[in-house]
Chain A
Amino acid sequence: MITSEVLHIERSNYLATVTDLKSQGYEMCIDVAGVDYLTHPGRELPEGVVPGRYEVVVNLLSLGNRSRVRIRVQVPEDDPTIETLFFLYPGSEAMEREVYDLVGIRFKNHPDLTRILMPEGWEGHPLRKDYSMGAVPIQFKSVNGAG
């Protein structure tokens, strides 16, 4: 089974740490995911980490050392922004767009931060927990006098 290290990083150290990791041989950014912890605030975090509403989870892979590292960054609700990794890993471009599109975290300095899966002009970010599922009540009985 694949084991991987998990790092909790302050948002302000994010870019510096990833730069450092890249120089340590983590040459590939495998995955960028966003999680909205709105309805599950009491998750387990190591001491000293202040939980934010959102979390950006980045998976880096080292081909040479055959190891993975997972970075979890807390992003507060009132300022859902984070630095982009595009300039370190160009491959993170589409993945960051997906996180922006579905979870609504903005990546600073991203060259083309537009929606990727949802259409342009879509309201809201579907993978947020307070996103309305769009349930519409339907009346199954026919209305009197309407044929």
Chain B
Amino acid sequence: MSKKMNDSGKVDGASQEQEAESLALVSETSEGPQELQEVEDTGRFELSAEFGSTLRLPEGVDVDPGDIDIEFSDEKMIINMGPQHPSTHGVLRLMMELDGEVILRTKPVVGYLHTGMEKTAEGLTFLQGPTNVTRMDYLSPFHNELVFSMATEKLLGLELPDRASWIRTLMCELNRCTSHLMWMATNGMDLGSSSMMIYGFREREMILAFFEKVTGLRMNHNYIRPGGVAADLPDGWEDDVLAILETIPGRLDEYDELLTGQPIFRERVDNVGIITAEQAIALSATGPILRSTGVAWDLRRDMPYLNYDQVEFDVIVGSIGDCFDRYSVRLNEIRESLRIIAQVVEKMPAGDYKIQDKKVTPPPRLRIDESMEALIHHFKIYTEGFKVPEGEVYVAVESPRGEIGCYMVSDGSAKPYRMHIRGPSFVNLQTLPTMLRGGIIADAIAAISSVDPVMGEVDR
């Protein structure tokens, strides 16, 4: 506490000193360029690590730096793919070293969408937090809100009402469908099947319309909040969900016909961007990338949260971990999600949609008109928030892209002391250099698409 804030109380006239200090600060806090360096300019040690590694893999670490003998043809060059490239799904920049058409090394350069959301979270109360985190992975906003809310609830030691928990399960599974449908659409677009793009968006729109009905927004819902959800499901929600359940499976079969059996598509994805189970585990990859290698790891089944232990579903796994496996894992995960949704509709209990704890959740809107206390309570909770006991927790859930985790530290005030999100896209992006190595540049598009990075979450 004795430390002074950095730039606050400086005296004028010490400008020279300040300048020198500022220069020292740059040199102190900079470790050099982020970009991929020419092989000739790369240090031996770094290269040895890189050689299993931009590849970043342990076998590369074991290479004796003296043994590396690099000789490439004159065709060798470094090119940039992105940050503005339609197939990079946002502002992803890949620096690739090519030998002719063959990719030798790749380095993802990220940060173009960095908006300091973890820092922002420290200035928002726990009640406002979901508004912020929902914008990270904008294709699966419910999972972001869920992991944030679950971390807060764990610190508070809250038990959710049954209905709230089932509503969350329903929304998260629908969200998995929209996210995977969106992926099917963009993947189709990347590989030249623009009809798939139209279809994917069409089906996604149907579910988004349901989201709008429930939460008021198509994306960035701020619906799942600490203590439950923001509002109960509207009347007649079962009909909407049943309509979704009736329509989508047939459409999925159409996709199967359109893509799975189609030789042009298969040529683009079969045996492209292969990653083994050992590599995926070493590189901390989760979600469809890990499952496509044959590792049956799904937090919904292996470390159940919400009500996933009360519904039946299968964990979809691939075999060799190529782009086609990742495609089929995602396609079939939509089917499994629909299976879960059908069970949720049957099992949805009556009851509260949020916890009836005046400390945590605001009073119902109608009470505000008739009760002074409710009005004060409403005002207090929205202006000051609620205090969360001291402590630190890590909570993880299975988002469509893999394990999204929230590490939260509370100092006992109404705002998180530190909120760290473990973004699955951010970590999964590390698998790209391994997938691309030795492949040709045209295959890179298929591999990038199959990783399904959402840059909002990578850069946060």
Contacts and interface: CB of A to CB of B under 8 A. Distances in A.
B79 to A, nearest CB: 20
A124 B6 contact: yes
A63 to B, nearest CB: 5
B295 to A, nearest CB: 7
Band of interface residues on A: 35 or more
B3 A66 contact: no
A82 to B, nearest CB: 15
Contact of A131 (B6, B56, B297, B459): B6
A114 B31 contact: yes
A4 B405 CA distance: 13
Contact of B30 (A89, A92, A115, A131): A115
B284 A30 contact: yes
A127 B46 contact: no
Interface residues of B, number: 65
Interface in A1-54: 1-2, 4, 27-31, 33, 35-36, 38-41, 43-44
Nearest to A40: B411
A25 to B, nearest CB: 12
Contact of B26 (A29, A40, A70, A121): A121
A124 B25 contact: yes
Given A93-B430, A122-B30, A132-B6, A116 B422 contact: no
Given A27-B281, A31-B405, A2 B395 contact: yes
B245 to A, nearest CB: 29
B121 to A, nearest CB: 10
B201 interface: no
B53 A70 contact: no
Contacts of B281: 27-28, 63
Given A1-B154, A57-B407, A116-B110, A126 B394 contact: no
A123 B417 CA distance: 22
A75 interface: no
Contacts of A118: 111, 114
A91 B282 contact: yes
B22 A100 contact: no
Contacts of A91: 56, 282-285, 427, 430
A39 B420 CA distance: 17
A39 B409 contact: no
A132 B282 CA distance: 37
Given A104-B29, A117-B110, A63 B459 contact: no
A89 B284 contact: yes
A95 B390 contact: no
Contacts of A102: 118
Contacts of B39: none
B302 interface: yes
A66 B396 CA distance: 13
Contacts of A70: 394
Given A90-B56, A130-B6, A112 B403 contact: no
B411 A43 contact: yes
A34 to B, nearest CB: 8
B114 A28 contact: no
A68 B299 CA distance: 12
A55 to B, nearest CB: 9
Given A104-B29, A116-B34, A126-B119, A89 B282 contact: yes
The 5 A-B pairs of least Cβ separation, nearest first, read: A91-B284, A111-B49, A132-B7, A40-B411, A31-B422
Given A29-B284, A90-B61, 16 more contacts: A1-B154, A30-B286, A35-B420, A44-B390, A57-B407, A59-B405, A63-B281, A63-B295, A100-B31, A114-B32, A114-B34, A117-B110, A120-B32, A121-B30, A122-B29, A130-B3
